[in-house]
Amino acid sequence: MKKLFILLLLGFNGFIYAQNAQEFPVLKGDYLGQTPPGDTPVVFAPGIVSVNGRYEYGLSVSPDGNEIYFTADSPGDGLTFIKRVYGKWTEPQTANLRGNHSWEFEAFFANEGKKLYFTSDTNNLSKFWCMEKGKNGWSKARYLDSPINNFPGMWCTFTRDETMYYGNNENFQIHRARPVAGKYTEIENLGFKGTHPSVAPDESLFMFNSNQYAGNGKNDIFIVFRNENGSWEKPINMGDKINTNYGETCASLSPDSKYIFFSRYDEPGEKSNIYWARVDLLIDSLKRLNHINN
């Protein structure tokens, strides 16, 4: 009788597990099969990535489009990933890249998806870590050996030549580091007051968020264009389709620079959802307007 009860219990638990497993929808296609937006931002993957009642931010898509990382917080366990396997997207899982359940957040790809950088709490400070992809998958996460980590930082994005743009949390300004013999030994403060810089692959522009330039004390997303001589223009507010009366942060570009992903803090308690929008035409328009004004 006891054995029968155990078998029935196992069967019931298996049934419940199967039911829960079936609750996650079958998702196929690029960007989790979501309908591509126009130039008006919409919530990205509601109920899957953007879940009501929690913070989501820092979304990054791998260059081949098969991996998506984002951060889920309060409730959430930090860095989260979704993969496309045999044409179907897996259910979101906590990344735990360091393997010790440290707090991890804001991952970004470099070197055509062969490297993954992320931020993790290290001795109570946010520092950068990285991994490399080999034949057998991702390597063990390692602490970035660079003067960059002499100060707390977060959110790094990369150009095609692996020039790194990141936010320095010591002075909350945008910094850049170019690779020298494969290492980031030289650091440049670009002088822009803000965080979360997202650089275009060709380094023609970068976006960032700041409450220093908006004039109303809230975070807006700005774009900066590079001149032919390598200098940077003044930051331009990306306009009322991207920026609203809510705060907007953590802008990132899709691999083809066609879409923008960003967080908008429009939920009760100022929690955020991730939005996305077609942004290439907007960028072209801002670029032309900037050229005319200068």
Q: 142-161, pLDDT tens digit by residue? A: 999 999 999 999 999 999 99
Tokens of 144: 């970035």
**CA 72 from centre of chain:** 11
Query: How confident is the model at residue 21, as a pLDDT?
Result: 46
Query: Hey, what domains does the chain have and what are their CATH numbers?
Result: 30-293 (2.120.10.30)
Query: How confident is the model at residue 14, as a pLDDT?
Result: 44
Query: How confident is the model at residue 152, as a pLDDT?
Result: 97
What pLDDT band is residue 264 in, cutting at 50, 70 and 90? very high
pLDDT above 70 for 7: no
CB atoms under 10 Å from CB of 67, counted, come to: 18
DSSP 62-98: -TTS-EEEEEEESSSEEEEEEEEETTEEPPPEE--TT
pLDDT above 50 for 6: no
pLDDT above 60 for 19: no
**What contacts 251, CB < 8 A, 6 or more positions away?**
196, 198, 207, 208, 209, 221, 242, 260, 261, 262
Query: How confident is the model at residue 8, as a pLDDT?
Result: 42
Residue type, 209: N
What pLDDT band is residue 13 in, cutting at 50, 70 and 90? very low
Q: What mean pLDDT, rounded, does the chain reach?
A: 91
Give the closest residue to 90 by CA, choosing from 149, 28, 136. Answer: 28
Please tell me which residue, 3 or 178, carries the higher pLDDT value. 178
What pLDDT band is residue 213 in, cutting at 50, 70 and 90? confident
How would you list the strands of the sheet with 42-43, edge to edge?
Answer: 42-43, 273-278, 259-264, 248-253
Distance CA 169, CA 211 (A): 14
Tokens of 186: 């030289």
Query: How confident is the model at residue 161, as a pLDDT?
Result: 96
Q: What is the mean pLDDT of residues 120-148?
A: 95
What pLDDT band is residue 289 in, cutting at 50, 70 and 90? confident
Distance CA 183, CA 160 (A): 15
What pLDDT band is residue 12 in, cutting at 50, 70 and 90? very low
Out of 94-108, 127-141, 160-174, 279-293, least confident range: 279-293
pLDDT above 90 for 22: no
Query: How confident is the model at residue 294, as a pLDDT?
Result: 59
> What pTM value is reported for the model?
0.90
